[in-house]
Structure 1
Amino acid sequence: MKDLDLHLVSIFDAVMTEGSVTKAAERLALTQSAVSNAIARMRVVWDDPLFTRHGRGIKASARAQELWREIQEPLAAIRMAASPVRFDAATSTRAFRVAVTDYMSGSLWPSLRQHIERHAPGIRVLAVPYTSQETGARLRDNNIDICIGGLQHMGDEIKLQRLFREDWVCAMRPDHPLARSPLTEETFLEAEHLLVSLSGDPVGIADAALERAGKRRRVAMTLNNFSGAPSLLLSSSLIAVLPAGVVRTHPLKDQIYSCDVPLTLAPFDCQMAWHTRYDRDSAHRWMRALIVQTCNQIWTAG
């Protein structure tokens, strides 16, 4: 690739990352006119409009999104090869955008923060909403750095690492009538259920299992976060099917009664996902290792 092409690619990447000509110019220490001129050349070279005005920023075309995905891995490799500076956690001011549920952040964040305060005080960890359906696209578009959750294969450009395996429990208040004897499928189906649904869909893993058997339960209430579930269970006659760690790592864990779910529910792997463009990024590798280490401490201890 010619030097001019590499220069255009670098500017293109900055514009895509920032979503703004002005911010891209500031990031690259260039004038806005220089970036605008580069965009004009890109449009000729790649035979596509690439960007259109959108509010105060710009909107990338489908072709621009496709090009950006294609250049990420080779561009990261070039930057790694050209940069002799090694990552130093003690002095770094890197920010990591991590898509995560409130259950995971509630468990992980305290330990992560303790380590960061001691060893990497300039590092920032920014939690963003978790939506498993959009994870792949958000990683490809560089909107997030890492995602943590019950994730599945999202293509060869998205890497997955298993953090721990999670089982399911049925949770309720300790003086609930169903806590007095072993929970059966019959009494389970007769109960009023709380469903934690991050997407708002009133159907969960237990409902899918019941549907396969031609049965249904009554979801009387839904909640869009895990942290509020124990308090709601303690103040009501609801029961809930939850990942075991939600109860085990919650401040109210000693007040919640939990038992096996009287259904066949397979455990799931909680995984960490990132884009291959960051495979060799030393700062990213440091953060991933810290997440793995912290998860091992929390979940192995239990």
Structure 2
Amino acid sequence: MHLPDMNLLPALDALLREGSVTGAAARMNVSASAMSRTLGRLRRVLGDPLLAPAGRGLTLTPRAVELRPQVEAALAGALAALRPAGPLDIASVERDFTLRTNDAFAVVVGPALAERVAREAPGIRLRFLPEGDEDPADLRDSVDLDIGHLPALPHDVRSSPLARHRYVAVCRAGAPHAEEPLSVERFAALPHITVTRRGRLHGVVDDRLAGLGLARHVLATVPSHASACFLALSSDALALVAAPVAAHAARVMPLVVRDVPLSLPDVETGMAWHVRLDNDPAHRWLRDAVTQADRGSVSDRR
């Protein structure tokens, strides 16, 4: 489709507003001869004289009068589209955001994030999706923010680090080993509940124990940290969970948090989003809200 020269639109608006070539030229800060040539081009494009002689001046043709409100609206819309975005009024934003994360984040950071959204941005709805066999490419269309332990990311995905955390053990408050010193030998001898989305029975804890000539018995594997905490309530097993979840769970459940007597690597977490959302004001607000909620959860654990 052949598009007309959009540079003619401001000149047409000036001619229709002023009703004269001289006035339109002054409005556009060009010479009268240049505006006269532009009028000739507009007449050919629109198939109408637009300005007709009337005594010593000019008058708008019926077609020009009909065009005037359309041209004003079109020019105003074009100018608005080309202006930088104004300050964000987050309270007026109506939008759904899809966040993919694990239950640890949803349990520990989710409440503070939801509270801030409800208070500052009531038109925003959060859709939490569980982690699974996800593809980072989902960020290109169906997921707005990935939160948690991030895999290798494609070139068109941005990321920002969140808090690092360590793993600890929780057990029921009345368990025989709840208060006794937890040596590595005692730790290995107790049954364990581990969190793994894929039901793996072997992990870094087993590697560390093997290096000391020890082995453990995994009583159960579960896909979520919350499930591990609930299972620990009805057995004498140790549930190995993220430290933020353990601290939160111990406040609302009869659980005792125990340090793991092994040198385990910290878990790095972060959030990732597609480059198309990098400069989106509402998405920037959401990323800041996630960061602040995550920092608040760290402060709560100290």
- For residues 106-255 of structure 1, the aligned pairs below 5 Å read 106-131=107-132, 134-139=134-139, 141-210=140-209, 215-250=214-249, 252-253=251-252, 255=254
CA drift at 1:213: 5.6
Q: Distance in 1 between matches of 2:276 and 2:211?
A: 40
Tell me the alpha carbon deviations over residues 158-191 of structure 1, each in whole angstroms, 9 at most, x when there is no partner. Answer: 2221121212112111222222421122122221
CA drift at 1:85: 4.8
Q: 1:191·1:238 contact (CA, 8 Å) conserved in 2?
A: yes
Aligned residue for 1:96, secondary structure, equals: strand
Matched AA of 2:138: R
Aligned CA RMSD, in angstroms, stands at 2.5
State, as a whole percentage, how many aligned pairs show the same letter: 31
Moved more, 102-111 or 244-253: 244-253
Q: 1:202·1:222 contact (CA, 8 Å) conserved in 2?
A: yes
- For residues 54-133 of structure 1, the aligned pairs below 5 Å read 84-86=84-86, 87-131=88-132
Q: Distance in 1 between matches of 2:269 and 2:235?
A: 29
Residues 153 and 117 of structure 1: CA distance in aligned 2, closer, same or farther (over 3 Å): same
Q: Distance in 2 between matches of 1:150 and 1:163?
A: 10
Tell me the alpha carbon deviations over residues 269-300 of structure 1, each in whole angstroms, 9 at most, x when there is no partner. Answer: 22111122211111111100111111111212
> Rg larger in 1 or in 2?
2
Aligned residue for 2:162, secondary structure, equals: strand
Matched AA of 1:299: V
Specify the alignment match of 1:64 in structure 2: none
CA drift at 1:145: 0.9
Q: Distance in 2 between matches of 1:205 and 1:152?
A: 18
Show structure 1 runs of 5+ residues with no match: 4-80
Q: 1:102·1:225 contact (CA, 8 Å) conserved in 2?
A: yes
Q: Distance in 1 between matches of 2:192 and 2:156?
A: 39
CA drift at 1:209: 3.5
Residues 170 and 138 of structure 1: CA distance in aligned 2, closer, same or farther (over 3 Å): same
CA drift at 1:123: 0.2
Aligned residue for 1:125, secondary structure, equals: strand
The TM-score with structure 2 as length reference comes to: 0.66
Moved more, 201-210 or 168-177: 201-210
Aligned residue for 1:176, secondary structure, equals: coil
Q: Distance in 2 between matches of 1:109 and 1:272?
A: 14
Specify the alignment match of 1:275 in structure 2: 274
Q: Distance in 2 between matches of 1:83 and 1:236?
A: 63
Specify the alignment match of 1:295 in structure 2: 294
**Corresponding pairs, count:** 222
Residues 253 and 206 of structure 1: CA distance in aligned 2, closer, same or farther (over 3 Å): farther
Specify the alignment match of 1:29 in structure 2: none
Tell me the alpha carbon deviations over residues 78-122 of structure 1, each in whole angstroms, 9 at most, x when there is no partner. Answer: xxx857554431111111110111221122222222222221111
Specify the alignment match of 1:35 in structure 2: none
Aligned residue for 1:165, secondary structure, equals: coil
The TM-score with structure 1 as length reference comes to: 0.66
Specify the alignment match of 1:260 in structure 2: 259
Q: Distance in 2 between matches of 1:128 and 1:116?
A: 17
Matched AA of 2:147: I
Q: Distance in 1 between matches of 2:258 and 2:179?
A: 11
Residues 157 and 193 of structure 1: CA distance in aligned 2, closer, same or farther (over 3 Å): same
Show structure 2 runs of 5+ residues with no match: 4-80
Q: 1:234·1:256 contact (CA, 8 Å) conserved in 2?
A: yes
